[in-house]
Amino acid sequence: MERGRRGMLVKRLCHITATGVTLTMLAGCAASSGVDQQARGGYFARNLSGLPADPPMAPGDNPILAVRALHNPPPRLIRLALLAQHERWAGTPYRLGGSSRRGIDCSALVQNIFSDTFRLDLPRTTEQQVHAGLKIKRNALRPGDLVFFRSRGGYRHVGIYVGEGRFLHASTSRGVMMSNLDNRYWQRHFWQARRTLEPVLLSRRRGETGEG
């Protein structure tokens, strides 16, 4: 009888140990280090204000629609609209040449968001987008500005600055996500920033105001 109890106790301890090891492995995967972790830039999506913790907005309060209706939307409203776009696109996988929720690359994401939010037509590729708007200094960034990165191998990447040091982009490893400009990887490869949301430039945008 005593041997049976000991056997059951050993089995329970083994099960608890195995569960702990599994959780540790999962935690290790989520906190992996090295270049891949740096390239992700940190996934801050759920920590930003204006995301799921806040009450859902009514259709009439949609910041994307509000931005469309204004010729010179304030930075705070632009930020809210970009956070709403993040909610639409978050988790979409990266696909070179892709332009839909089945898969999208960095420049196509920027082009889609600017078209949908600001009714502003940007070029399709990163090489073309880097000539759009006005070049600005990094310390002058405002929500809606484009941020560009370039590696030694010639790879170019683009995202949209959201504010508070974060930018929205299509990561090659994690898909559409938020990253931090202060991350060492992004600091090292930062190239330049462009502003396309000046009133003069916005005055040239398309005139549609309907949802679409």
- Give the pLDDT confidence of 37-54 residue by residue, as tens digits: 333 333 223 333 334 444
Say if residue 140 is exposed, middle or buried (CB neighbours under 10 Å; 0-12, 13-18, 19+). Answer: exposed
The Cβ of residue 20 has, within 10 Å, a number of other Cβ atoms equal to 10
Mean pLDDT of 161-168: 97
pLDDT of 36 higher than 80: no
**Residue 20 pLDDT more than 50?**
no
Quote the pLDDT of residue 196: 93
The answer to whether the CB of 125 falls within 8 A of the CB of 114 is no
Query: Is the model's pLDDT at 12 over the cut of 90?
Result: no
pLDDT at 5: 54
Assigned token pair, 199 = 């009133």
How does pLDDT run across 63-94, given as a tens digit for each residue? Answer: 999 998 888 899 999 999 999 999 999 999 99
Percent of the chain with pLDDT over 70: 65
The angle that helices 75-89 and 106-118 make with each other, rounded to 10 degrees, is 130
Q: Which residues are the active-site residues?
A: 106, 157, 169
Assessment of whether the complete model's pTM goes beyond 0.75: no
34 pLDDT higher than 80: no
Q: Which helix (H) or strand (E) holds 117?
A: helix 106-118
Ranges assigned E (strand) in 84-174 = 99-100, 103-104, 134-136, 146-150, 156-163, 166-171
Per-residue confidence (pLDDT) for residue 118, from 0 to 100: 93
Of 17, 41, 39, 37, nearest to 29 by C-alpha is 37
pLDDT mean across residues, the chain: 76
Average pLDDT, integer, range 129-149: 96
